[in-house]
C-alpha cells in the first residue's frame, strides 16, 4: 500500500517523527502521520498552516507499507461524538498514545478529521516492523497559491 506525507524539504530525506503533539499523539510521543492520497495529505497540511507557512519548500514523500505489516484500524464508531473537535483532541491523543504504548502494530489506520470517510495511516517508528516501511521517493510539492488567500 502506498501512503503519502507532505513535509518541509529539510525533513524529507527520511521518515522522522518530531514528537510534537498533534491529533493522535501527545507531546514527546513520536508518531509519523501519512495519508491515503496526496490530496488528503495536502488538506491535512493546510488546515494547520497560514498562507505564509504554505510558501516554504515542501516535498511529498511516497511511502510503501508492505502487505506483511499488520494494520490496526480505529473506526469512527469507536470514537465519541465530536471526536474531531479541537477541544476533544485529548481524547484522540489518548487513543494514539495507548496504541503507541501497546506496540501491537507499526501502523494504525484512523479516520481523517477533515474528511471522515478518508483515512490517515499513523506509523510507529519504535515498533520493530517500522523498518519494513520504505520511503520510495520524494518530489517537490507546491501548494496552489489560491489556497488560503
pLDDT band at 143 (very low <50, low <70, confident <90, very high): confident
Report the pLDDT averaged over residues 17-22.
88
- All three cell numbers of 140, joined, read 517537490
What is the reported pLDDT for 81? 93
Report the pLDDT averaged over residues 23-52.
90
Does residue 55 have a pLDDT over 70?
A: no
* Cβ(65)–Cβ(107) below 8 Å: yes
What is the reported pLDDT for 46? 86
What is the reported pLDDT for 89? 94
Amino acid at each position: 500500500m502506498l501512503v503519502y506525507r507532505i513535509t518541509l524539504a529539510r525533513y524529507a530525506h527520511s521518515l522522522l517523527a518530531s514528537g510534537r503533539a498533534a491529533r493522535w499523539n501527545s507531546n514527546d510521543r513520536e508518531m509519523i502521520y501519512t495519508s491515503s492520497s496526496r490530496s488528503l495529505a495536502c488538506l491535512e497540511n493546510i488546515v494547520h498552516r497560514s498562507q505564509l507557512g504554505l510558501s516554504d519548500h515542501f516535498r511529498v514523500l511516497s511511502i510503501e507499507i508492505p502487505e506483511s505489516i499488520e494494520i490496526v484500524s480505529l473506526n469512527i464508531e469507536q470514537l465519541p461524538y465530536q471526536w474531531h473537535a479541537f477541544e476533544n483532541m485529548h481524547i484522540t491523543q489518548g487513543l494514539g498514545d495507548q496504541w503507541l504504548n501497546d506496540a501491537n502494530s507499526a501502523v494504525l489506520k484512523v479516520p481523517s478529521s477533515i474528511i471522515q470517510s478518508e483515512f490517515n495511516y499513523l506509523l510507529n517508528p519504535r515498533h520493530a516492523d517500522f523498518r519494513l516501511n520504505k520511503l520510495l521517493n520524494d518530489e517537490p510539492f507546491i501548494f496552489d497559491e489560491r489556497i488560503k488567500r
